[in-house]
Structure 1
Amino acid sequence: MRFSTSILAGACAATTLLGATVAQAEPTVVTNVHGYTLVGKKLVTFTGMAFDNGKVLATGNDAALVKRYPRATRVDGEGKTMLPGLIDVHGHVFRLGFRRNEVLMGGTQNLDEALAKIRDYAKANPNRQWLLGSGWNQVIWKLGRFPTAAELDGAVADRPMTLRRVDGHATWANSKALQAAGITKDTPDPAGGRIERDAAGNPSGVLVDKAQLLVTSKIPAPTDEERRLALGTALAHFGSLGLTNVGDAGIGVDEARIYREFADQKKLTTRIYAMISDVGDDFKALSASGPLKGYANDRYNLRAVKLRGDGALGSRGAAMLDPYSDDHANKGLLLQDDATMNAKVQAALKAGYQTNTHAIGDAANHQILNAYQAAYKDVGGKQLRNRIEHAQVVTLADIPRFKTLDLIASMQPTHATSDMNMAEDRIGKERLKGAYAWHTFLKQGTVVAGGSDFPVESANPFYGLHAAVTRTDHEGKPAQGWHPEEAMTLLQAFRAFTLDAAYAQHQEKVLGSLERGKWADFILVDQDPFKEPPANLWKTLVLQTWVGGERVYRKE
């Protein structure tokens, strides 16, 4: 257990062992808090918590704990609210870190504003050979179409530039980037992808799903030093948000190497539950010794595989059983055929890896459900707590299959509040009955694990809690919530980001609640989410974050 000098003061007692004098750490008691934790299905309150060697000894009345541990180091919680550290089961850690050094389009209200921001970024970064950005959303810009390479050339014409759409399923490229990728009128659409074209058939500047690889494969790979910087940036951000554990949805050998390095050097200030991206060469290399469980005092796990079934709703890449309501010639894109998907699921399960598969459209969800069903019959693996990531639009007939197949619904509440401005246009009222259906899943007994899909959405878990409970934006719109019948209760949402998130990562015995023997991962926040109006949940500020009894963040 490591503490800052101020915390260590007075915390050690001299103990004689075989004639040698060694320092033995005394327990720490945090007092004067309004604490909450789940114990089973019950929400338990407390005013103090004791921990030692990074693990919880007890929660309860703070005065009684001080009396029980009279020599303990005391930390005054100053009357703040204590919660278990929050968990985001689905994000993209290195991408978040890299993105904080890119131009971010989030918040831009129109194309002109976005181009001005891009122009300023290019001027401020004259030495970058390839400019990167993300976060654009033509729906918010009210373009009624995708932006074009010619429009991006108006801001940056001298160097290649590519910008990922907010959902990560489309890339906007300028002419230099298209040229670098060799994309012309004669370039065919790749399987699982689409090149947007103008009326004459020329590439217009946007590449959807697997077509993105045509240009992104030309971007110079980051160095290990750049990866270290990105990871450090992401970890610092997580601490400020109260995230003590995150799931990294899709890594390769390079990222795995950096994670192990950080874990060995005790620099993983947020626990990482990583998923190997697909079952190709990286999987073969990383799985040679089998799943990695509980490495470095549960700081790092690599025991899952991330597969992808389709694209996203905003770019109409999500695979639908019937055509889009606003594009009758388009059903979206399955990224592989049934046989290929079945083979991938079976390869991961046969190797003993939990399998977590991205599926947004109802056709993709149907394909993945079939793949799990077939795999259980052929190779087993049902006990691995397999997941469908997003489970965003599911036919009503397919929803019960999640329970039958013991699948976890790994869902991102802010996707609903981000998509509510276009979801009905895309799929119509009838298909919305099985979309963002958190309450329906919970009612049938399916575990719903909370996440954000950062950096597609903000990594702030209080944004997710707010969206889950209110189904409104931060201005409280729509007034009664968007399809409020599918909202979670606050207790359900809290569970989705704590104990059920830990369960979805095979960690409920060591994380997710502040119970004896579990890691002392906790946060202090500025308001009590169980007493504040739900509309204020997103405003919650994290004051301190502790991981394994060690403070890793303190708000200045």
Structure 2
Amino acid sequence: MRTTVFSPAPLAGAVRQAGTTTLLAAGLAAGLAAVAPLAQADTIIDRANGYTLTADGSLLRFTSLAFDDLGKIVAVGSEKDTAARLPKAEHIDAQGKTLLPGLIDAHGHVFGLGEIASGVELFNATSVGGAVRTVAEFARAHPRRAWVIGRGWNQENWKLGRFPTAAELDAQVNDRPVLLHRVDGHAIWVNTKALEMAGVSRDTPDPKGGKIERDAAGRPTGVLVDAAMELVEKVVPLATPAEARSMLDNALAILAKMGLTSVHDAGIKVAQDDLYRDYADHGKLTTRVYAMIGDTGADFDELAKDGPLPSYGNDVYALASVKLYSDGALGSRGAALLAPYSDMPSTKGLLFYPPAEMLAKMNKAMKAGYQVNVHAIGDAGNRQILDAYAQLIPKYNAVGLRHRIEHAQVVTPEDIPRFKTLGVIPSMQPTHATSDQNMAEQRVGSERIKGAYAWRTFLDQGSRIACGSDFPVESPNPFEGLHAAVTRQNNAGQPAGGWYKNQAMTLTEALRCFTLDAAYAAHQENVIGSLEAGKWADFILIDRDLFKVPPEQIGKTQVLQTWMGGKRVYKRQ
């Protein structure tokens, strides 16, 4: 028997803080991806302060975890219990550090996360002038880039009372196109060069499900919302294979550092599926990926030829669901509401498709045997999708597919029980509530807010919430999500006492929605999500005991090691 002593070292190198989104510079990300896993052998982690969940959601304590050379858990319990099961195992001394199941993000955008490391970051911009200066500095530093691409702007933080304009970008960058995604990904801010290259002019009509912001004379001002974004995005050159690999490498390194051993990628295309399978074939997926096919068009037709793929490469990849969009986002007033916006009575937002067209998309996916996961933020968007599920789930006897609504952000109180009745999973992101608190009630008013970000209401009726972050819209750090779920406060501890604290979760509930229930939402609760014999040895070691520290410290947790399938894929340096 050989014993290895676990000894965490202090973190080396700077971590960049982009607003609420903690990201690593590309070089650091590549370095983390290169951490060599330990050689696989029968292994026992001893002297751990271990926590996991039972099937009924109860918290289980343990001190020792044993897994075999295939990466499957053999026993969880005391050192005596595990040693008896694997008498020749290598022992690793955890020195009392807290050990948790690997965390799962049930809604993120993997390649988007990887792309940010090489683009303009505007999450910290506190004014439109500051944002423009950041763009200009980036453009000067990257003179060979044909397009200046970035993300993270939020006009709500700038107190403009309006969207930014192309003219403001033109004053600093007019020699090449600029395209900047809003923080929520549901609007883009572009310069005049980008509008010209895309052929967007006064005569361009608003596409169905989208809006071109215009001045009094009807001229585009430089912001395009939801479906209108495609008018410009379609002329942006596609990432090269090398760029796509770099994005994926960057993202995987960030996710491993955050303690995420599984993520649900909310909308992929054929090229991304090819890359995921290639990485799985070569042992390069250091985070499990449950992918959703983006929409039911040509990519779906190609990827669905052989039907759903529930597992590939020892459960490291799956492609068994479809991602659709019902509406836009609250911040850009693109979320579809049943009544006008409280702070802009001239609009009710945008449904992307009329009911019959949305029903046809959902029917196509469900008929092919896929789980259907639909983005719906406004109460009208949520109702449209619930009405469609009410027709289609009985038609296909499809309760077992565990269909989902992604975000379920603003729901009328009378519609919330329909999630439970229909067996629809609310896939929700705790940090959306704490990020949106500065504008959500202004958008929907004091009555509609009662059905918004309503985690407690969903839990009390017996719904299983799958928690995520929607990275890179929010930070991929799941501990920030756990903190938000428990405190209803942002990272700065605001507001005092928590924002609508009556909708908060307990810490055990929050842990469950980032582990076991997120796994359930991907039909993977029998292989991951908790630490039990027969499941994969996906776990993390962290620097504090979440169940003993004050709640305000939860979001400050640092991951010391991340293990996926019995292999160490990250170690804090």
Does residue 34 of structure 2 align to residue 47 of structure 1?
Answer: no
* Partner AA of 2:500 in structure 1: H
Does residue 46 of structure 2 align to residue 31 of structure 1?
Answer: yes
Higher relative contact order structure (alpha carbons within 8 Å, sequence separation ≥ 6)? 2
Quick one: distance in 2 between partners of 1:33 and 1:368? 45
Does residue 188 of structure 2 align to residue 175 of structure 1?
Answer: no
1:314 aligned residue (320, 326, 331): 331
Any conservation in 2 of the 1:250–1:305 contact (CA below 8 Å)?
yes
1:141 aligned residue (136, 153, 158): 158
Any conservation in 2 of the 1:252–1:276 contact (CA below 8 Å)?
yes
Any conservation in 2 of the 1:350–1:380 contact (CA below 8 Å)?
no
Alpha-carbon displacement from aligned partner over 1:87-138 (angstroms, at most 9, x marks no partner): 0010011111112111010111111221121111011100000110000000
Alpha-carbon displacement from aligned partner over 1:132-177 (angstroms, at most 9, x marks no partner): 0000000011111100000011221110000000000000000100
Describe the SS at the equivalent of 1:298. coil
Matches within 5 A, 1:185-334: 185-334=202-351
* Partner AA of 1:238 in structure 2: L
Any conservation in 2 of the 1:350–1:381 contact (CA below 8 Å)?
no
Identify if the C-alpha distance between structure 1 residues 377 and 48 changes in structure 2 by more than 3 Å, giving closer, same or farther: closer
Alpha-carbon displacement from aligned partner over 1:412-446 (angstroms, at most 9, x marks no partner): 00000000000011000100010000000000011
- Aligned residue number for residue 157 of structure 1: 174
Any conservation in 2 of the 1:277–1:306 contact (CA below 8 Å)?
yes
Alpha-carbon displacement from aligned partner over 1:461-493 (angstroms, at most 9, x marks no partner): 001000000011112111110000100110110
- Aligned residue number for residue 445 of structure 2: 428
Matches within 5 A, 1:533-552: 533-552=550-569
Describe the SS at the equivalent of 2:185. coil
Any conservation in 1 of the 2:74–2:85 contact (CA below 8 Å)?
no
Identify if the C-alpha distance between structure 1 residues 25 and 203 changes in structure 2 by more than 3 Å, giving closer, same or farther: closer
Any conservation in 2 of the 1:346–1:379 contact (CA below 8 Å)?
no
- Aligned residue number for residue 9 of structure 2: none
- Aligned residue number for residue 409 of structure 1: 426
Any conservation in 2 of the 1:469–1:487 contact (CA below 8 Å)?
yes
Describe the SS at the equivalent of 1:410. strand
Alpha-carbon displacement from aligned partner over 1:28-57 (angstroms, at most 9, x marks no partner): 011121000001221111111110020111
Report the more deviating stretch, 470-479 or 375-384. 375-384
Alpha-carbon displacement from aligned partner over 1:232-280 (angstroms, at most 9, x marks no partner): 1100110000000000000111110101111111101100000001111
Describe the SS at the equivalent of 1:297. coil
1:25 Cα shift?
A: 7.2
1:62 Cα shift?
A: 2.3
1:78 Cα shift?
A: 2.2
RMSD over aligned CA atoms reads: 1.4
Quick one: distance in 2 between partners of 1:489 and 1:67? 36
Quick one: distance in 1 between partners of 2:439 and 2:232? 28
Quick one: distance in 2 between partners of 1:512 and 1:229? 28
Describe the SS at the equivalent of 2:157. coil
* Partner AA of 1:307 in structure 2: L
* Partner AA of 2:467 in structure 1: G
Any conservation in 2 of the 1:55–1:516 contact (CA below 8 Å)?
yes
- Aligned residue number for residue 117 of structure 2: 100
Any conservation in 1 of the 2:40–2:566 contact (CA below 8 Å)?
no
Alpha-carbon displacement from aligned partner over 1:355-400 (angstroms, at most 9, x marks no partner): 0000000000000000111112333322100000000000011001
Describe the SS at the equivalent of 1:145. coil
- Aligned residue number for residue 468 of structure 1: 485
Describe the SS at the equivalent of 2:113. helix
Quick one: distance in 2 between partners of 1:260 and 1:203? 41
Any conservation in 1 of the 2:5–2:94 contact (CA below 8 Å)?
no
Describe the SS at the equivalent of 1:524. strand
Alpha-carbon displacement from aligned partner over 1:166-193 (angstroms, at most 9, x marks no partner): 0000000001001111111111111111
Any conservation in 2 of the 1:309–1:358 contact (CA below 8 Å)?
yes
Describe the SS at the equivalent of 1:139. helix
Describe the SS at the equivalent of 1:140. helix
- Aligned residue number for residue 29 of structure 2: none
* Partner AA of 1:515 in structure 2: E
Describe the SS at the equivalent of 1:246. strand
- Aligned residue number for residue 118 of structure 1: 135
Describe the SS at the equivalent of 1:433. helix
Matches within 5 A, 1:390-539: 390-539=407-556
Quick one: distance in 1 between partners of 2:5 and 2:308? 39
Any conservation in 1 of the 2:99–2:542 contact (CA below 8 Å)?
yes
1:67 Cα shift?
A: 5.2
Does residue 369 of structure 2 align to residue 347 of structure 1?
Answer: no
Quick one: distance in 1 between partners of 2:112 and 2:100? 28
Quick one: distance in 1 between partners of 2:360 and 2:456? 32
Describe the SS at the equivalent of 2:158. coil
Any conservation in 2 of the 1:162–1:174 contact (CA below 8 Å)?
yes
1:65 Cα shift?
A: 2.7
| Structure 2 gap segments, 5+ residues each | 7-38
1:26 Cα shift?
A: 5.1
Alpha-carbon displacement from aligned partner over 1:286-339 (angstroms, at most 9, x marks no partner): 010011121100000000000100000000000000000011010000000000
Quick one: distance in 2 between partners of 1:473 and 1:244? 24
2:96 aligned residue (45, 64, 79): 79
- Aligned residue number for residue 356 of structure 1: 373
Describe the SS at the equivalent of 1:79. coil
Alpha-carbon displacement from aligned partner over 1:448-468 (angstroms, at most 9, x marks no partner): 000000001011000100000
Quick one: distance in 2 between partners of 1:275 and 1:96? 16
Any conservation in 1 of the 2:120–2:150 contact (CA below 8 Å)?
yes
* Partner AA of 1:474 in structure 2: N
Quick one: distance in 1 between partners of 2:243 and 2:222? 28
Quick one: distance in 2 between partners of 1:81 and 1:374? 46
Instruction: Give me the identity figure in percent.
Output: 58
Identify if the C-alpha distance between structure 1 residues 144 and 54 changes in structure 2 by more than 3 Å, giving closer, same or farther: same
Quick one: distance in 2 between partners of 1:379 and 1:138? 44
